[in-house]
Chains A and B, each alone.
Chain A
């Protein structure tokens, strides 16, 4: 059964999640950039 939470403001309730997601996103983007750089270096050689 799915309980739909009725006592959470859909906007403010998601701030903590957005902070966590932003941290994850920054790390993900950081690694993606490194991966891209390595790839271009590899391609140059």
Chain B
């Protein structure tokens, strides 16, 4: 089956067969592909884990209609509008690093799309083997420079200087946030930051006089000029740190861990009791905050955990912790259960909906999140219906209306609002699941349920 998003590049396309990923290369790209392999660039990038590895299935040197590669499979596939600031930053720095190495091998990146980057073991990895082309006539101009700025620099500047939620603009502008829009959103003081001015504001000024631009068409960019651009971009992006933005969940976990020590210890022990003898291959931890329990689950079940939260500060902290501890199999991701990323792009097939990219879990965890979903007016019945996405088990924390947090959330609700009692919860749960075990969480009125399909 051909990958629906693989139509933009005339050099080839991706297809799937028996759960394996293949890439077909068209004759127009043969020369560049041979150069990519023979120059040693591919070997260099693979040895540093910067690009996905591949195996050539037919002889490169024999002229054929196409070359087929079997490509390393990456899981899960995620998109930039589901990444936190540091994930986008690391993806941008990887693109620049690859561009810098490629120039030394006489090649240049013809694409700089953020969709060409994925994460493997919490490190960014480049997935487009066909993005490299030979530098012609010593002209080191970077065709994808504008794309790089619109795909990476504009989102990072908007997230840094305006609001970290603005990465979501990449969902509307899947080819990158336009310069003009970025310029219009940024405040005046930010436009005077030299890097912002030269990379973002200046192009919008020069663009209004397109004839001026076209007359300079024959100009070349030297190697040292291109390397200066890359180094400057690298230095600017490296020093960009995520905006200090206060969110509801900022200190929640810290508070929870210190104030409610008994509750956390009890929860940790009960989780262990429920799942320690289990072997899961994939867990979804929904509402994971900074990933504290995701890492616990990963440790005791040896499973891959997709650690999702609706708060970008939490995703950021989760990513930073995993990075600093070299945790490979806990994957932090932005996820809004009430509005998960949909299928978008050409024919609504180009960028897939989230659920088709994050696998089939054999355990779903909903810790301390049920009341928040109910607060979004999603009935308990529908929440449990959603959890049927698990192949076997569900861990869900029941939070009674008497819980202090619930009292805050639902204090202004009218008389028509009915919060499910524990009995109702169990009754509905048994409509969807075969059986359950439950344990009370010490230091609270909450109950942890372990449900089996």
Point out the residue from B147, B178, B199, B219 that lies within 8 Å of A19, measured CB to CB.
B219
Interface residues of B in 200-249 (CB under 8 A from A): 202-203, 206-207, 210, 212-214, 216-217, 219, 221, 225-226, 228-229, 231-233, 235
Q: Are A11 and B143 touching (Cβ within 8 A)?
A: yes
Closest 7 CB pairs of A and B: A25-B232, A22-B225, A11-B143, A25-B228, A16-B216, A24-B198, A26-B228
Point out the residue from B210, B219, B235 that lies within 8 Å of A15, measured CB to CB.
B219
Measured in the bound complex, the distance between the Cα atoms of B144 and A11 in whole Å is: 7
Chain B hits for A34, CB < 8 A:
none
Point out the residue from A16, A24, A25, A32 that lies within 8 Å of B219, measured CB to CB.
A16
Q: Are B221 and A25 touching (Cβ within 8 A)?
A: no
Interface residues of A in 8-33 (CB under 8 A from B): 8, 10-22, 24-26, 28-29, 32
Q: Does A41 contact B (CB under 8 A)?
A: no
Measured in the bound complex, the distance between the Cα atoms of B217 and A31 in whole Å is: 30
The interface bits of chain B over 128-167 (1 if a CB of A lies within 8 angstroms of the residue's CB, else 0) are: 0000000000000111111100000000000000000000
Q: Are A18 and B229 touching (Cβ within 8 A)?
A: yes
Q: How many residues belonging to B are interface residues under a CB distance threshold of 8 Å?
A: 35
User: Taking A2-B180, A5-B210, A29-B232 as contacts, is the C-beta distance between A14 and B226 under 8 angstroms?
Assistant: no
User: Taking A15-B216, A22-B226 as contacts, is the C-beta distance between A29 and B235 under 8 angstroms?
Assistant: yes
Q: Are B194 and A28 touching (Cβ within 8 A)?
A: yes
Q: Are A2 and B184 touching (Cβ within 8 A)?
A: yes
CB distance from B135 to the nearest CB of A (A): 14
User: Taking A2-B178, A2-B181, A21-B199 as contacts, is the C-beta distance between A13 and B210 under 8 angstroms?
Assistant: yes
Point out the residue from B142, B202, B231 that lies within 8 Å of A20, measured CB to CB.
B202
Chain A hits for B216, CB < 8 A:
15-16, 19
Q: Are B225 and A17 touching (Cβ within 8 A)?
A: no
Q: Does A7 contact B (CB under 8 A)?
A: yes
Which residues of A pack against B, CB within 8 Å?
2-5, 7-8, 10-22, 24-26, 28-29, 32
Known: A2-B181, A10-B146, A17-B203. 18 other contacts (CB 8 A): A2-B180, A8-B207, A11-B141, A11-B146, A12-B213, A12-B217, A14-B143, A15-B141, A16-B213, A18-B221, A18-B229, A20-B198, A21-B229, A21-B232, A22-B225, A22-B226, A25-B228, A28-B195
Q: Are A15 and B146 touching (Cβ within 8 A)?
A: no
Q: Are A28 and B219 touching (Cβ within 8 A)?
A: no
Q: Which residue of A lies closest to B183 (CB)?
A: A2
Q: Which residue of B lies closest to A4 (CB)?
A: B178
CB distance from B203 to the nearest CB of A (A): 5
Measured in the bound complex, the distance between the Cα atoms of B298 and A40 in whole Å is: 44
Measured in the bound complex, the distance between the Cα atoms of B365 and A25 in whole Å is: 48
The interface bits of chain B over 105-129 (1 if a CB of A lies within 8 angstroms of the residue's CB, else 0) are: 0000000000000000000000000
Measured in the bound complex, the distance between the Cα atoms of B225 and A15 in whole Å is: 11
Q: Which residue of B lies closest to A24 (CB)?
A: B198
User: Taking A2-B180, A8-B213, A28-B232 as contacts, is the C-beta distance between A17 and B206 under 8 angstroms?
Assistant: yes
Measured in the bound complex, the distance between the Cα atoms of B228 and A29 in whole Å is: 8
Q: Are B231 and A18 touching (Cβ within 8 A)?
A: no
Measured in the bound complex, the distance between the Cα atoms of B199 and A13 in whole Å is: 14
Point out the residue from A2, A3, A22 that lies within 8 Å of B229, measured CB to CB.
A22
Chain B hits for A20, CB < 8 A:
198, 202
Point out the residue from A7, A19, A21, A32 that lies within 8 Å of B210, measured CB to CB.
A7
Measured in the bound complex, the distance between the Cα atoms of B195 and A25 in whole Å is: 9
Q: Are B229 and A25 touching (Cβ within 8 A)?
A: yes
Chain B hits for A8, CB < 8 A:
207, 210, 213
Q: Which residue of B lies closest to A22 (CB)?
A: B225
Measured in the bound complex, the distance between the Cα atoms of B143 and A21 in whole Å is: 14
